[in-house]
Amino acid sequence: GGPMLGPESDLLTAVGLLCNVAAESIICGFRASATSLSTRDSRSAKGKKYFSRRLVNVARINSSNELVSTDAVVYGIGSIVSPNCFADNVQWIGGPNVLLPIVNAARSASSMALALRLIRESVHRHPPNLEMLQAGGGYRMLGLLLRQKKIMDSSILDQCFAFAVHGFVPGSMKEQQDPHAWKQGGSAGAGLPSMWSFSDRWVFSDLDAMKYLLLNHQVWDLRGSGPDLPLRLLSFLNGLVAAHSAHAAFNSRRLHLLGIIRWTLHLMLEASELYTAGALAAEQQVGSISPDDKKQSRFSERGIDEAKSSLNVAALASGWLADPPSVATIAVGGDP
């Protein structure tokens, strides 16, 4: 199917089921829904029901081949039905909200990502199910479940982003590393990708998913997740409004409706507090500090006492620590 389709593509070419045979070469192509009424076979044994179905040969349509039969008869004890897709079956049993208990039963990040993908497939290209998820409070309940689980990782973030953005397929994006990216000291997220392949085709299509799943500070606990997830989300949002995006203006207007500037400022303030807490905890872990060193410390005595708190230690353990750049690298004209 090619790399652009992605591992979750529902196209027939992705699973090798696309028929490339010429129409004049097709001998039979029966469709289960195009049948006549069933008739009971008089030769059937007592107490058993054998049915026969007459199928119309769709290969006969617009075919000049006179050797192709017009129909066929199928015998057996089973019935032939027209199959429904997964989304239609979910709609029949009550909508995508009935799948939320699967999210509640997830105990790991991988199972949570699979549960989210299952719900996403039930609303993909299915307006009735999508309307049920939006108007029925499905996104709100999904955000509450994600908040309670606290097992967030990049795969769950990708699934949530796929709810809101059309054209984004989790697992198909080729992360392009920026060799000049700023490296974070002590963080596992150093060298995060600055751009994403095929982001020029992304379309921000679902405001409710973005509001209740991605831009919800209560869902993404930064103190426990570390800087990797917010930086990954920011890189996704940058792909929506980047200059190379064909829908940058449309995506920008929709993000503005959700107050993306206010959300970004809130994220930056929270991240700066966590970086400060991580630096305090790191300084305390250095060891005993002499009185002269305490006077020269960047932090006050009050800050040193606060470094003993468990919150600061948790921020440091999650990777909220960065070495600030030197003045010479950021000041105009060098170090004054």
List, in sequence order, every residue forming a beta bridge with 165; answer none if it has no partner: 204
Strand intervals (E) in 172-241:
175-176, 195-196, 203-204
CB 312 within 8 A of CB 306: yes
CA dist., res. 162 & res. 30, Å (int): 36
Residue 143 CB contacts under 8 Å (≥ 6 apart), including other chains:
212, 213, 216, 218, 219
Residue tagged 């700023």 (tokens): 182
The two structure tokens encoding residue 230:
């917010």
CA dist., res. 336 & res. 90, Å (int): 66
Residue 99 CB contacts under 8 Å (≥ 6 apart), including other chains:
90, 115, 118, 119, 122
CA dist., res. 226 & res. 184, Å (int): 12
Q: What is the pLDDT along the chain (336 residues), one digit of tens a residue?
A: 444 555 455 555 665 656 677 766 666 665 554 445 454 555 544 545 555 666 666 666 666 666 666 666 666 655 545 556 788 889 988 899 999 999 999 999 999 999 999 999 999 888 999 999 998 899 999 999 999 988 888 999 999 999 999 989 887 554 444 444 334 433 444 444 445 667 888 999 999 999 999 999 889 888 777 888 899 999 999 999 998 899 999 999 999 999 999 999 999 999 888 888 888 888 777 654 455 554 445 555 554 454 456 777 777 777 888 776 666 666 655 544
